């Protein structure tokens, strides 16, 4: 009798233990650099909630937006080192590390949503391979809306940009400034409003989305809708953290990521239209660039593509060939 009671207790204990393991929750931190109300950030929160739901709470991802956990340029390294299990970066920030990361930050190489999607298709296998070598995986990627120029004064040609204090967020946006004779100052989105209000910068090239996020209409007057390129954000995962998940959880993450990529891309297109209207409603002049300004910027783009190809070597050529295939 006593023996039987013991074995029942033991069985209960084993059961409790297994159930405990099965219900154990894994917690991930996901670092992001843009404000909580930005469409990328909202998409991340939805992604996290989809994963939590699909896994019955087994994987809980906490999104830390607005560079609250790591600053934009630090996020990639943090994910690589496992200080954050996941994080959202903008590829164009890492062009100096590897030129292929910067391809979608080049002016007029891919300047519409369709072209951006095509460029992504060509970049993706190369980027996935590089990230794997760096101990990371690519969960999904979403393009920002097309990039235009914000200024205080009207722009008839690129010559009007001489000497302006130009806020850059990437090596390519700095290079544009150099080529037009502006003074580049690198400032990430989280500090953009402050840099403008303190007069550290008085122009930038970014999307309508960031224009609204950072209330650029409070300091700047014009938005030149140049639609020059659509840089991509990407959500990266630490490979070890991903590999530690059980198979069904991994599958749930990948499924939610695919949904987030499609949802985020649709949101980007919607936000592109909405934010230009919001800029106007807040008194900003949204202007179609003059033929001269367009021609000047096209020349900047041509120079930058040539420079990029020189630095990127055979890999760069392979990417452009894959992208240019009909």
Exactly one of 90, 179, 201, 319 binds ligand PCA (CB under 6 A); which one? Answer: 90
Residue 210 in contact with ligand PCA, rule: CB under 6 A? yes
222 DSSP β-pair partners = 151, 285
From residue 260 to residue 299, what is the string marking binding to ligand PCA with x (rule CB under 6 A)? ----------------------------------------
Concatenate the DSSP letters of all residues of 46-104 into one string.
Answer: HHHHHHHHHTTTSEEEEEE-TTSSS-GGGHHHHHHHTSSSEEEEEGGGGTTT-GGGGGG
Site string for ligand PCA, 113-132 (x = CB under 6 A): --------------------
Neighbour count for residue 33 (Cβ, 10 Å): 29
User: E-assigned strands of the chain?
Assistant: 26-31, 59-64, 86-90, 136-143, 148-151, 165-168, 183-186, 203-206, 222-224, 232-238, 285-287
d(CA 226, CA 13): 67
**Which residues ranging from 166 to 185 are in contact with ligand PCA (CB under 6 A)?**
169
The site string for ligand PCA over 39-78 (x = CB under 6 A, - otherwise) reads ----------------------------------------
Residue 72 in contact with residue 188, Cβ under 8 Å?
Answer: yes
CA atoms of 94 and 169, how far apart (whole Å): 11
Which range touches ligand PCA (CB under 6 A), out of 177-185, 201-209, 218-226, 235-243? 201-209
Distance (Å, whole) CA 65 – CA 70: 9
Give residue number: closest CB to ligand PCA.
Answer: 207
Closest distance of CB 282 from ligand PCA, Å: 17
Q: Exposed/middle/buried for 236, CB within 10 Å: 0-12, 13-18, 19+?
A: buried
Rounded to 10 deg, the angle between the 291-324 and 113-133 helix axes is 50
**Interface pick for ligand PCA out of 55, 174, 207, 268 (rule CB under 6 A):** 207
32 binds ligand PCA (CB under 6 A): no
The least distance separating ligand PCA from the CB of residue 276, rounded to whole angstroms, comes to 13
With respect to ligand PCA, which residue has the nearer C-beta, 58 or 175? 175
| 8-state DSSP, 58 | S
Contact region for ligand PCA (CB under 6 A) — 106-114, 194-202, 203-211, 301-309?
A: 203-211
Q: Is 316 in the site for ligand PCA (CB under 6 A)?
A: no
Shortest reach from residue 203's CB to ligand PCA, in Å? 12
Q: How far apart are the C-alpha atoms of 285 and 276, rounded to whole Å? A: 10
Give 209 or 305: the residue with its C-beta nearer to ligand PCA: 209
For the bound state, the minimum distance from the C-beta of residue 24 to ligand PCA, rounded and expressed in Å, comes to 37
Residue choice 231, 264, 289, 301 for contact with ligand PCA (CB under 6 A): 231
Using the rule CB under 6 A, give the single segment among 119-127, 202-210, 241-249, 270-278 that binds ligand PCA.
202-210
CA distance 296 to 154: 15
Buried b (16+ CB within 10 A) or exposed e, 136-174: bbbbbbbbbbbbbbbbeeebebbebbeebbbbbbbbbbb
Q: Which of 206, 238, 249, 265 binds ligand PCA (CB under 6 A)?
A: 206
Question: Considering the rule CB under 6 A, would residue 203 count as an interface residue with ligand PCA?
Answer: no
**Does 189 sit near ligand PCA (CB under 6 A)?**
yes
Residues contributing to the site for ligand PCA (CB under 6 A): 90, 144, 169, 189, 206-207, 209-210, 231
């Amino acid at each position: 009798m006593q023996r039987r009671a013991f074995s029942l207790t033991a069985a209960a204990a084993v059961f409790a233990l297994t159930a405990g393991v099965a219900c154990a929750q894994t917690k991930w931190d996901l670092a992001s650099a843009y404000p909580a109300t930005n469409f990328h950030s909202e998409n991340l929160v939805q992604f996290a909630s989809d994963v939590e739901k699909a896994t019955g709470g087994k994987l809980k991802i906490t999104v830390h937006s607005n560079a609250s956990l790591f600053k934009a340029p630090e996020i990639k390294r943090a994910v690589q080192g496992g200080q954050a299990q996941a994080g959202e970066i903008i590829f164009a920030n890492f062009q100096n590390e590897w030129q292929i990361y910067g391809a979608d930050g080049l002016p007029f190489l891919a300047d519409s949503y369709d072209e951006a999607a095509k460029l992504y298709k060509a970049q993706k296998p190369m980027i996935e391979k590089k990230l794997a070598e760096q101990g990371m995986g690519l969960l999904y990627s979403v393009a920002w809306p097309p990039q235009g120029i914000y200024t205080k004064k009207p722009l008839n040609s690129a010559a009007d940009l001489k000497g302006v204090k130009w806020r850059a967020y990437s090596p390519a946006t700095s290079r544009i400034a150099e080529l037009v004779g502006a003074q580049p100052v690198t400032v990430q989105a989280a500090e953009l409003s402050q840099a403008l209000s303190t007069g550290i910068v008085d122009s930038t090239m970014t999307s309508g989305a960031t224009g609204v996020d950072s209330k650029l209409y409070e300091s700047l007057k014009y938005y030149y809708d140049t639609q020059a390129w659509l840089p991509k954000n990407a959500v990266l995962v630490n490979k070890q953290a991903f590999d530690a998940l059980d198979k069904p959880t991994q599958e749930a993450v990948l499924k939610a990521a695919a949904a987030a990529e499609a949802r985020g891309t649709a949101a980007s297109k919607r936000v592109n239209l909405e934010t230009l209207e919001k800029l106007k409603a807040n008194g900003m002049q949204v202007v179609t660039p003059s033929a001269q300004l367009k021609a000047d910027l096209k020349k900047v783009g041509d120079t930058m593509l040539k420079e990029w190809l020189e630095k990127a070597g055979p890999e760069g050529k392979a990417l452009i060939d894959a992208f240019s295939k009909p």
